[in-house]
Amino acid sequence: MSAAISVQSLTKQYKAVCAVNNVSFEVTQGHCFGLLGPNGAGKTTTIEIMEGIIAATSGQVLYQGEVVDQHTAQKIGIQFQNTALQDFLTVKETLNLFASFYEHTIAQPILIELCDLADFLDRDNRLLSGGQRQRLLLALALINDPQIIFLDEPTTGLDPHARRKFWQLIKNIKSQNKTIVLTTHYMDEAEQLCDDIVIMNQGEIIESGTPHQLLTKHFHEVFIYLPKAQVSDELLQKYQWRVVSERVEITTDNVEKTLTLLMAESVSLEGLHVKSANLDDLFLKLTGHSLQA
Ligand SMILES: Nc1ncnc2c1ncn2[C@@H]1O[C@H](COP(=O)(O)OP(=O)(O)OP(=O)(O)O)[C@@H](O)[C@H]1O
């Protein structure tokens, strides 16, 4: 598959800080690409260089083989933050205003359906709920019918229902062979949406691949949880099991053997829960802290 974006040896040096240090990766056409990392990792700096908003100290970004230039803005979509929404304009007026900035735009009825805006087209921007506002901001990112869309933490602050609804919209957009570049602090979001991920820390890439590749590379074990009340202190000490939030956590690469052991030790299996490692666990393992904001 061809690369929609090729990031080559990007470095961004601020006076005392090297925000991005020799970073290279490719974003595949039609994929959702996730750039993850803790605060200060260099994600925003990388994304802003990719968008052509700031210049790199060295390195380059190619879009289908071409260097970023003043025409790039016409071809990509960027989800603006709240401040881009003007007061005293309705949703429809906002769509019309942003459409006037571009030579080529998507047909408005298609955009309204794609982003599910029909129910509040005549509402003032100030009266939108968090989820409605994010859908409008997504529509604005899509207004020039871009092939590549940048979403920077698009669901931060949304309730679980609104987040799930937003994910479905992103999946619909992706099914049209659009390329999506996403940053997020939510690991479940990355697992739901991203085909490929790059994890940055302190300006450098520390891991990259598909979520499945990374999880199978780093984790051979699963976690077994039991209510703490069912496990005696003696057993905790004997097997060095951890207690996490009132539950005993047992890490094992052989579930059957562990269950046999628990039964042999007469531990009740009521409320037992088995969990595979997820991206949150991977993040914790690689960076030493959880990504949840
Ligand atoms: N204009 C600037 N001048 C000096 N240092 C900067 C500037 N912009 C960013 N930095 C520094 O570069 C590093 C990377 O910042 P960046 O905003 O890219 O990280 P991030 O991964 O997006 O973090 P967050 O998740 O908090 O948004 C940080 O140490 C930051 O303080």
ipTM, interface predicted TM-score of the complex? 0.96
Q: What is the pLDDT of residue 38?
A: 85
User: What angle, rounded to 10 degrees, do the helices at 211-218 and 279-287 form?
Assistant: 60
Ligand 1 probe mutation, 21, 39, 45, 184, most atoms within 8 A of CB: 45
* Better pLDDT: 85 or 55: 55
- The model's confidence at residue 180, banded by pLDDT at 50, 70 and 90, is very high
For position 184, what pLDDT does the model report? Answer: 87
Helix pair angle (160-174, 130-142), 10° resolution: 20
Q: Is 147 helix (H, G, I), strand (E, B) or coil?
A: coil
Torsion of CA 185, 199, 286, 211, to 10 degrees: 80
Q: Is 39 in the pocket of ligand 1 (CB under 6 A)?
A: yes
Q: For the residues 198-202, what does the mean pLDDT come to?
A: 93
d(CA 153, CA 197): 14
Residue 152 pLDDT > 90:
no
The protein residue with its alpha carbon nearest to ligand 1, atom 11, reads 19
Give the mutation target among 10, 43, 184 for probing the ligand 1 site: most ligand atoms within 8 A of CB.
43
Q: How far is the CA of 44 from the centre of ligand 1 (A)?
A: 7
Is 1 a residue whose pLDDT tops 50?
yes
β-bridge pairing 148-152 and 179-183: parallel
Q: Where does 29-127 show beta strands of DSSP type E? A: 32-36, 58-63, 66-67, 76-78
Angstrom CA distances, 56 to 83, 162, 241, stand at 26, 36, 48
How many angstroms separate the alpha carbon of residue 59 from the centre of ligand 1?
18
Residue 31 pLDDT: 95
Averaged pLDDT for residues 206-228: 92
Average pLDDT for 217-236:
92
Axis-axis angle for helices 91-99, 130-142 (nearest 10): 20
Rounded to the nearest integer, the mean pLDDT of the chain is: 90
Nearest CA to ligand 1 atom 26: 39
DSSP state of 119: G
pLDDT average, residue stretch 139-145: 93
Q: How many angstroms is it from 184 CA to the middle of ligand 1?
A: 15
Instruction: State the distance from the centre of ligand 1 to the C-alpha of 140, rounded, in angstroms.
Output: 26
- What pLDDT score was predicted for residue 293? 46
At 187, is the pLDDT very low, low, confident or very high (cuts 50, 70, 90)? confident
- Specify the range with the lowest mean pLDDT, choosing from 37-41, 46-50, 125-129, 209-213: 37-41
Nearest CA to ligand 1 atom 5: 14
Q: Report the predicted TM-score, pTM, of the whole model to 2 decimal places.
A: 0.83
